[in-house]
Amino acid sequence: MFVFNGVIFLAGAAILGVGVWVKVDSSSLFAVLGKIENAPPELNQLLNVGYLLIAVGGVLLVLGFLGCCGAMKESRCMLLLFFVIVLLVFLAEVAGAIVVFVFQPLAEDLISQLGEKAVEVIKNDYGANADITGLWNATMEGLDCCGFYNYTDFLDSPFYNNSMTFPEECCLIPGCNSANVQISKVSGCLPKLIKLIDENIIIIGAVALGIAALEIAAMAVSMSMYYQIGAKKR
């Protein structure tokens, strides 16, 4: 019981940490998309994933603590409460996993549809708005990409109009422009983001399966202890 709940507690702490990082870290493409005006309402579901991770991580932390206390004090009430909460979390995770796998193609399609608005933000604000400029620079550096589709997204932007050059992340040499034949071949952030989603969805699925198996084992052990303690007290 200690082993199961110790792992659950650590998993909850890790998930909680990731959720906090997602919400605190503003230097990501999700933060850029969140600043787009008149964006589709479905985008909020994609941007609120940090809150979901924080909630799941917090629940797992409480579960780990509750399971350990129930085992130490041999409290049938705490063990039963532990079993019920784990069962509810397990059912929620199963439903969530189904939603994630169904939502994956929708998320990719939604991000693709936002291309026009993302490019519009670049052309209107990149080089003029410090927040937008900083977010795009951090995104391009982190994903090793240039613009939403490619370097041409920056044409007619305040940055390009003032300097007649593209951002450093788009250039093989400093100060490249549309007339420079050594313009970078770096791809846009759209394909990089879709690739990131595809790669991470497999990891998330594997982790979810591992946590689900752990939860099933924890429920079995908690019920076994519940009946053993009941038999001892008789």
Task: Write the pLDDT tens digit of every residue in 145-190.
Answer: 888 888 888 888 999 999 888 888 888 777 787 776 455 557 888 8
Residues 99 and 205 both lie in one domain: yes
**What's the pLDDT at 45?**
55
Whether 143 and 210 map to the same domain: the answer is no
Shared domain for 229 and 129, answered yes or no, is no
Same domain, 138 and 201: no
**pLDDT less than 70: residues of the chain:** 1, 22-50, 96-97, 99-113, 180-185, 197, 200-205, 233-234
Total structural domains in the chain? 2
Q: Are residues 130 and 107 in the same domain?
A: no
Looking at the fold, whether 214 and 228 belong to one and the same domain comes out as yes
Is residue 114 within 8 Å of 29, Cβ to Cβ?
no
Domain residue limits at 142: 121-189
State the pTM of this model: 0.53
In this structure, the answer to whether residues 206 and 94 fall within a common structural domain is: yes
Q: Are 39 and 54 in contact (CB under 8 A)?
A: no
Q: What are phi and psi of 183, to 5 degrees?
A: -60, 145
d(CA 116, CA 148): 9
Of the candidates 49, 18, 43, the one whose C-alpha atom is nearest the C-alpha of residue 107 is 43
**What letter represents residue 2's amino acid?**
F
Q: Residue 149 in 3-state DSSP? A: coil
Average pLDDT, the chain: 75
Is residue 175 domain-shared with residue 228, that is, in the same domain? Answer: no
Same domain, 42 and 102: yes
Q: Does residue 140 sit in the same domain as residue 200?
A: no
